[in-house]
Structure 1
């Protein structure tokens, strides 16, 4: 009977991203077995093996990837509108995928390849005599972190998955005998958490410049907290809607009983990240250019208010590449350091920004990323009020346009942003700083500081406001109808003033890193988890040397949550004493703070809010209206191009059919045909 090997890797001579179609489909690697002994005798090839394991994080390109993992464009806030109507992330919206028609079918297999590669490394790295004992322990911990992270990526998308033995499987077993059923979700979580804890004990807290972006102690602890937060959330904590997902004996793979202790574990894990004292929110000092928040918010220095910082630049520079040395950024805990287009097939942050950058009239971007009106309306006013309860000092109007006098008095961000103030709708005035750092609208200035001068000595696109009206400089045209954000609202986040794509030839791209876990997220996890507690709980620390005790401590919730609000120039929340009200506030804060970071797609699912938030039409403005009738442009418009659809089976992705065909014990997710 034919034998199969589960832990042999792609050819040692090839360190590229070779295809790996499934965790049972490894017959092609049989001939490489004899090479393992030689690989781990040298430091160079040992390190190459580890770098290859890191390369499997390619499947984690969830922010900028619109093809294999386009979750950033698959919720209710941000959409990709390029010329190709069949871009996978568009199909995520209306469930145009199935076990036999996967939009990211290689992801499952590549992640299991990474798991096997990491296990092989852990089992063999001790053979390398050219490494010191400390280096071996650190490298082994990095591989352990990666293995756990790959499992995390699997359960985030598919729910409970098979856990493979760390040492691999017996090569003498038959293919049928190697078929592996899914573990329970709780078993997966416990394994992943234990692996992160073990990795954290041996990982370094900080990496040298040459190794930035690689696993650290803080990354392991933060990833552990994230896994535990998802496990505590309604989708996996007493969710009867997934009762059909059972093992062969009829036992549910997702626990049907609610357990508050899961929230407590998540809170304790987040507190351990905070207690390292290593991380902080990134801030930029106040300057003459700062648009000062209301006096009551800036009366105290950050982090007890927003005094001394520039909220707009603090948020904007965090993402746009302004931080040249990531050692100066203590907010990004784990991130993708190497995201150049050549390494990712054009699916990187530079590519994302180019698809946001204006098109025509000297600009040479694609101008296709579109933001929903729902996302725009989520942002607070400048003083922290909701737009429907705006104050006289910072009013909200849906009619009319901002004049020069208005901009010089109260619409200060628009004054900074636009030289053609009359083009700016009053609905875009007096918004919080994160709005202006994230959203592009008619009159929003794209600085293009590196644009070339024309023959007459002028620069046609430098510090120029964009124009999304039909027939306008960046609006819809008959010849190129899709080079315009189809909601009439564009994406500004990640854009750096130096980034320039000019039709005359000037191209300048600021290097950017892709955030995966940042400290603001940890603070929000902490507040969210504490909010759900009704009693006190104690847990041992990750290293067993201490104890963490958590309860619904309002002051601890405030300490975490308020930092995020103050960095944004907003007042603190006022509803900590009401768990239900604060839950609503926290969800909205995550929608704003983590916009365009691939968080909302999974947040709506883990909260079980997707059936209400991801149904109904997408709304924006009418991009068929010219500037001569600009009032009509801003009439709320249903965007027929994106057909939203929700079915409960969309909580979890279908396992690829080729995987369930190969592994007869692999149960399919509820609602999907095997």
Structure 2
């Protein structure tokens, strides 16, 4: 084999000329020994370095939970927002995103980065077998990792841009004329078939678990869970018989999205999720409050109302032996390590200190406690949380009055609107309502360890003329990812921030995929498992749907849905969407969910509501009367379904076509 023969589309989409292509393909600068590919993969240490470099493209804009500079999609749907970037900076404000005022040049680093990762992974896959210092098992495992990474990079592109060019599996000869290197976009279903096939192949040789040192490496479960996710999107209305997207075409004018609906796609998603469940490796994380191996019994932080079916049963049948509030809060705030979390399936653990969950926590922390006080949730998101007995909150009219002490309406302190009382534990673990208590227990000064935060106008964390960007625009902040030990004020003695990891894929998502896919079935299907040696018989099976979804709700201190919801496909679909909205808040799902469901034209165009931030503490009743937030206008037009492809890429690859509604360079 000739050195450097296998390359990816990166030649077309990144390099500016054949000269620069060849320079880019030369990997000598990565290795002091200046060896070429013909000899590089013979050595174990150099091969490992190459694979490590493939992993580096999981960073930056390919993160799911990160600051807005890298993962803005986590903060520009109808659930969360950011307010600390105004038009006077670089135009990338929340308003610009919500109004569709972004351009073809915004947030485009993922395209080139993913294709670089794809190219490097392909080179590794086709050359690692020549290694003389690895066992056959080691080679198979490392090749499976590279195969996972290549498929995952394609998935990230598919989710963001829709159908993308698939590089020929055998690679491209860079000596061909430049014009011959252009590759058109592949059909969406073709992309799905390739990605899911590669993930299934990878799963066969990936380890089922990892050591503490290897937590960032994909496992068998990661490959299978990613596969289920890809199938779920393929089955969803945006990509399954979507005639409204008939104008998304390739360079020959052929539609890139199937115009015919296929129910079998839902069956594939359900079967893929079942593959993960059948591994028997993962379970929902729960924080015990009275387990023998946890030391002396501790009272629950929030006690759900008594329910004869759930209060006296152990998890997963009830919440007798778990703390629902801490079970959800500790899942994200670093209280449990990645290796100690049985729910975590895949995470980009490295390089998160400045841009990942810690950065979100910094943005969410009150200004008066060293944070930026910039992220919040909408009134819609606040109202989505159930009451503590599983009912909808009253909104017309809302509950009136305020707490008068810190004991009668636990966990609310005094001076808090009663519309925040008697909510489900996930609400208190996620939402910073007006008057909630914030902690920084790492502070040495006891007097600085807790503070009640109010968002009234004129308060330190409310609307201030001197710092208009640093206030929560809806009066509803975010506590998810915040650890009570965290102290973001460097001037406070003892300041400490608990390290956190990104929940890229967790078991709760797999259970939600399974329930959603089963609900959409009308017939029965026999779908091969990932090995092809067995089959899953799938149909709309209510006990199976309940088995999946009830675990998530019981972990949250809520009863399972009643028979009326399970009995109606439409009712369960509505409840499932709401469950995803609550459970997966801040994990980069809502933006894509609304698009794949084709709900975005309604949900994202609905005015953003919140508290009246112009009201002072003396006008607290008016403050808590929801109003439209004037600085957050919203629209949704068709072009906002898919992210635009940059003009630079379109110029370099003449066979690329632009997504509907976006411009193509002349």
User: Normalized against structure 2, the TM-score is what?
Assistant: 0.92
Question: How big is the shift at 1:533?
Answer: 0.5
User: How do 1:89-488 residues align onto structure 2 when only pairs under 5 Å count?
Assistant: 90=94, 91-99=96-104, 102-286=105-289, 287-296=298-307, 297-324=310-337, 326-341=338-353, 346-360=354-368, 363-388=369-394, 397-404=398-405, 407-409=406-408, 411-414=409-412, 418=413, 421-422=414-415, 424-453=416-445, 459-488=446-475
Structure 1 residues 586-595 or 103-112, which shifts more?
103-112
Partner of 1:16: none
Going from structure 1 to structure 2, the CA distance change for 1:605 and 1:23 (only over 3 Å counts) comes to farther
Question: How big is the shift at 1:642?
Answer: 2.0
Partner of 2:292: none
Partner of 1:583: 573
Q: 2:233, 2:239 within 8 Å by CA — same for their partners in 1? A: yes
Partner of 1:26: 21
What secondary structure is seen at the aligned counterpart in 1 of 2:213? helix
Q: 2:225, 2:272 within 8 Å by CA — same for their partners in 1? A: yes
Going from structure 1 to structure 2, the CA distance change for 1:125 and 1:235 (only over 3 Å counts) comes to same
User: How do 1:595-606 residues align onto structure 2 when only pairs under 5 Å count?
Assistant: 595-606=585-596
Q: Return the alpha-carbon distance in structure 1 between the equivalents of residues 5 and 357 of structure 2.
A: 37
What secondary structure is seen at the aligned counterpart in 1 of 2:411? helix
Q: Return the alpha-carbon distance in structure 1 between the equivalents of residues 109 and 302 of structure 2.
A: 47
Partner of 1:14: none
Quick one: which of 621, 628, 635 aligns to 2:625?
635
Question: How big is the shift at 1:440?
Answer: 0.4
Going from structure 1 to structure 2, the CA distance change for 1:609 and 1:9 (only over 3 Å counts) comes to closer
Going from structure 1 to structure 2, the CA distance change for 1:664 and 1:439 (only over 3 Å counts) comes to same
Partner of 1:77: 79
How large is the RMSD of aligned CA atoms in angstroms? 2.1
Question: How big is the shift at 1:39?
Answer: 2.9
Q: Return the alpha-carbon distance in structure 1 between the equivalents of residues 5 and 649 of structure 2.
A: 16
Q: 1:73, 1:89 within 8 Å by CA — same for their partners in 2? A: no
Q: 1:622, 1:633 within 8 Å by CA — same for their partners in 2? A: yes
Going from structure 1 to structure 2, the CA distance change for 1:365 and 1:181 (only over 3 Å counts) comes to same
Quick one: which of 545, 557, 572 aligns to 2:545?
557
Going from structure 1 to structure 2, the CA distance change for 1:295 and 1:210 (only over 3 Å counts) comes to same
Quick one: which of 506, 509, 520 aligns to 1:518?
506
What secondary structure is seen at the aligned counterpart in 2 of 1:163? coil
Partner of 2:32: none
Q: Return the alpha-carbon distance in structure 2 between the equivalents of residues 20 and 451 of structure 1.
A: 48
The CA deviation string for residues 227-280 of structure 1, in whole angstroms up to 9 with x for no partner, is 000000000001001101223443211100000000000001111111111110
What secondary structure is seen at the aligned counterpart in 2 of 1:534? coil
Q: Return the alpha-carbon distance in structure 1 between the equivalents of residues 106 and 101 of structure 2.
A: 9
Question: How big is the shift at 1:552?
Answer: 0.6
Question: How big is the shift at 1:579?
Answer: 0.4
Quick one: which of 595, 598, 603 aligns to 1:608?
598
Q: Return the alpha-carbon distance in structure 2 between the equivalents of residues 5 and 461 of structure 1.
A: 61
Q: 1:74, 1:89 within 8 Å by CA — same for their partners in 2? A: no
Q: Return the alpha-carbon distance in structure 1 between the equivalents of residues 85 and 547 of structure 2.
A: 46
Q: Return the alpha-carbon distance in structure 2 between the equivalents of residues 443 and 109 of structure 1.
A: 45
Going from structure 1 to structure 2, the CA distance change for 1:22 and 1:92 (only over 3 Å counts) comes to farther
Question: How big is the shift at 1:184?
Answer: 0.4
Q: Return the alpha-carbon distance in structure 1 between the equivalents of residues 573 and 526 of structure 2.
A: 23
Unaligned runs of 5+ in 2: 29-34, 290-297
Q: Return the alpha-carbon distance in structure 2 between the equivalents of residues 124 and 44 of structure 1.
A: 14
Going from structure 1 to structure 2, the CA distance change for 1:494 and 1:305 (only over 3 Å counts) comes to same
Going from structure 1 to structure 2, the CA distance change for 1:36 and 1:451 (only over 3 Å counts) comes to same
Q: Return the alpha-carbon distance in structure 1 between the equivalents of residues 58 and 17 of structure 2.
A: 17
Q: Return the alpha-carbon distance in structure 1 between the equivalents of residues 333 and 538 of structure 2.
A: 36
Going from structure 1 to structure 2, the CA distance change for 1:6 and 1:87 (only over 3 Å counts) comes to farther
Going from structure 1 to structure 2, the CA distance change for 1:107 and 1:397 (only over 3 Å counts) comes to same
Q: 1:400, 1:425 within 8 Å by CA — same for their partners in 2? A: yes
Q: Return the alpha-carbon distance in structure 1 between the equivalents of residues 547 and 194 of structure 2.
A: 31
Question: How big is the shift at 1:65?
Answer: 2.7
Question: How big is the shift at 1:171?
Answer: 2.0
Going from structure 1 to structure 2, the CA distance change for 1:502 and 1:663 (only over 3 Å counts) comes to closer
Q: 1:68, 1:88 within 8 Å by CA — same for their partners in 2? A: no
